Amino acid sequence: MRVKTLKRSGSELRIEIDGESHTFCNLLQNTLLEDRSVEMAGYDTPHPLTQRAVLYIKAKKESNPEKALERALKKITERTEELLLKFKEATGKPQ
């Protein structure tokens, strides 16, 4: 996975994520939209045959879009770890 900043200005951030498409970006977009400091979040996949997406975040007023992205990624990690734990409990696998 490669991440490249395409635009950074005030409350807006646009990054290109190489190696990802709808699966991860949809999760990321929805998690970003749970954050009250985020006014808008969306993504685009410029070509359907490539694994590349462009993520756009617009934060409210004085909020920082990078911090919102960090919070969203942390929340996704926590949810993934919780799901793994619950899966192991449900299947009787050792932790």
Domains of the chain (ranges plus CATH)? 2-91 (3.30.1360.10)
User: What confidence tier does 95 reach under pLDDT thresholds 50, 70, 90?
Assistant: low
The encoded tokens of residue 74 equal: 């942390």
The amino acid that residue 89 corresponds to is E
Q: Residue 9's beta-bridge partner residues?
A: 12
Condensed to tens digits (0 to 9), the pLDDT of residues 5-64 reads 999 998 999 999 999 989 999 999 999 999 999 999 999 998 888 889 999 999 998 899
Q: What pLDDT is stored for residue 48 in this prediction?
A: 83
Phi, psi of 17 (to 5 degrees): -115, 110
Using the predicted structure, report yes or no on whether residue 94 has a pLDDT greater than 80: no
Tell me the CA distances in angstroms from 57 to 20, 90, 94, one per residue in order. Answer: 17, 37, 40
Q: Is residue 58 helix, strand or coil?
A: strand
Q: Looking at residues 72-90, what average pLDDT do you find?
A: 96
Q: Which helix (H) or strand (E) holds 14?
A: strand 12-18
Q: Looking at residues 52-78, what average pLDDT do you find?
A: 96
